[in-house]
Structure 1
Amino acid sequence: MNKRIKQLALLVISASALAFVGCDSGQAQMGPKETNVLGIVKYSQADYSAVPTTSFAVSTDELYSRRNYSGDRVDLLWGLITLKDY
């Protein structure tokens, strides 16, 4: 009987830990706004900073027309090519 109570308590604690720990669907205010994969691909969310002159910049409005810009920026090959959405 005592062994079953311990197993049940362990199961309840484990289930509650899984339920309350995890992803918040991007709602965290202090969450990262940048992803970098060894410099090959760097994604910056809502980054309206200027593109360096050493980079070949391509804007999304040059590729297709749109009205709602996100401000996102993707740097490829250590900043050699920059895709910007602003």
Structure 2
Amino acid sequence: MNNMYNNSFQASAIKKYLASLNVMAESMRTYRDNLNSHWQAPEIADINRAIGEILRSITNLNNIMQSLASEIDELNQIPSLIGERGEFKGPA
């Protein structure tokens, strides 16, 4: 049971990090959009490219973390599928 608690805690922590990542990505998009509307210079293309790379990295990390949180949630379901004698009970 202790492992299930730890797993639930980990999944919850990952979901909080995901929310933070989403806020960061949205802030980067807003910053990029404001920058583009107020600054017209040759170097803006390089800045946009760098921001795009950051956003892609955030998206990749977000996908990995979502997958990990889902796998942890699935692992937490396993004990409820096993009976007292080790038999498979199936989904509730």
TM more than 0.5: no
Higher strand proportion: 1
- Tell which structure's C-alpha radius of gyration is larger: 1
Higher RCO structure, 1 or 2 (CA under 8 Å, sep 6+) = 2
TM-score by length of 2: 0.34
TM-score, normalization by structure 1: 0.36
